[in-house]
């Protein structure tokens, strides 16, 4: 029989709930909470360290083929009451399966002095979790070597980003950089081509850039775009050619087109 938790005041439950709600606590503890049978199973398959697994009796019956792989992989596994699962859930219709994963081995690292290899994407102050998750999912699908998350971008281990990324966060190489302009200045000295994606008339069309590696393209905030300092630190500004009347694209749509064009020229 598994250990059963019926109280919301259980220490493991309180720890998990705080991980879900508090990005600073996630960074401090080096852990994050994953929700959903498929996403939790994906974390296990991707090599994440699972410190604790939670599931309800109904979930054990409904998602047996996922849980039979996860339970042996978790250091601790608990069956929880439905009202406990409700406390941990961020979704309207919960699958009532959750796991606490450690950042070690798959957590985003500081950018530091490590050079860029291949073709990469930088995200500066991207704050919408849906955009962030979609961009990371696309980056993994297209085979980008790395994504740099810069400035005040949202936490890639937040519940909404994890769901939108469909597990890409578990596998995609990620790095953090507080100041993208400073990183661009370092990378240029190392021979990396640094581009700023901006919807400007004087920007070079991405169709005219070969993105020879090592290269990196930066996408900015949903409303304000890239900071002026980052644009100034780039080697060139690039833009997506558009025939319609729209002045710009959604951040995730822009990033998808940019990444496709970067990787297409690598084939």
Residues 6+ apart with CB under 8 A from 139: 121, 147, 168, 172, 255, 259
Cβ contact 163:36 at 8 Å = yes
pTM of the model: 0.92
User: What domains does the chain contain, in order, with CATH numbers?
Assistant: 3-102 (3.30.1330.30), 109-264 (3.40.1280.10)
Cβ contact 186:216 at 8 Å = no
Digits of tens for pLDDT over the chain (267 positions)?
A: 678 999 999 999 999 999 999 999 999 999 999 999 999 999 999 999 999 999 999 999 999 999 999 999 999 999 999 999 999 999 889 999 999 999 854 555 665 567 888 999 999 999 999 999 999 999 999 999 999 999 999 999 999 999 999 999 999 999 999 999 999 999 999 999 999 999 888 899 999 999 999 999 999 999 899 999 999 999 999 999 987 666 667 899 999 999 999 998 765
Per-residue burial over 182-196, b if 16 or more Cβ lie within 10 Å, else e, is ebbebbeeeebbbbb
Phi, psi of 75 (to 5 degrees): -70, -35
């Amino acid at each position: 029989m598994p250990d059963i938790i019926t109280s919301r005041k259980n220490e493991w439950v309180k720890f998990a709930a705080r991980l879900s709600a508090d990005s600073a606590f996630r960074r401090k503890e080096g852990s994050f909470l994953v929700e959903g049978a498929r996403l939790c199973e994906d974390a296990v398959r991707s090599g994440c360290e699972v410190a604790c697994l939670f599931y309800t009796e109904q979930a054990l019956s409904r998602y047996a083929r996922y849980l039979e792989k996860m339970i042996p992989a978790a250091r601790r596994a608990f069956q929880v009451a439905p009202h406990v699962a409700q406390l941990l859930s961020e979704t309207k219709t919960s699958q009532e399966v959750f796991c606490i994963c450690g950042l070690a081995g798959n957590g985003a690292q500081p950018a530091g002095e490590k050079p860029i290899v291949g073709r990469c994407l930088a995200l500066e102050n991207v704050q919408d979790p849906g955009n962030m998750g979609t961009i990371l999912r696309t980056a993994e699908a297209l085979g980008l070597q790395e994504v740099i998350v810069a400035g005040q971008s949202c936490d890639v281990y937040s519940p909404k980003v994890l769901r939108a990324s469909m597990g890409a966060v578990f596998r995609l190489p990620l790095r953090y950089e507080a100041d993208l302009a400073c990183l661009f200045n370092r990378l240029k000295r190392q021979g990396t081509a640094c581009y700023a994606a901006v919807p400007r008339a004087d920007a070079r069309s991405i169709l005219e850039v070969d993105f020879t590696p090592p290269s990196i393209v930066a996408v900015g905030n949903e409303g304000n775009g890239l900071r002026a300092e980052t644009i100034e630190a780039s080697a060139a500004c690039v833009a997506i050619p558009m025939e319609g009347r729209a002045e710009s694209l959604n951040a995730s749509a822009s990033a998808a087109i940019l990444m496709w064009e970067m990787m297409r020229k690598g084939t």
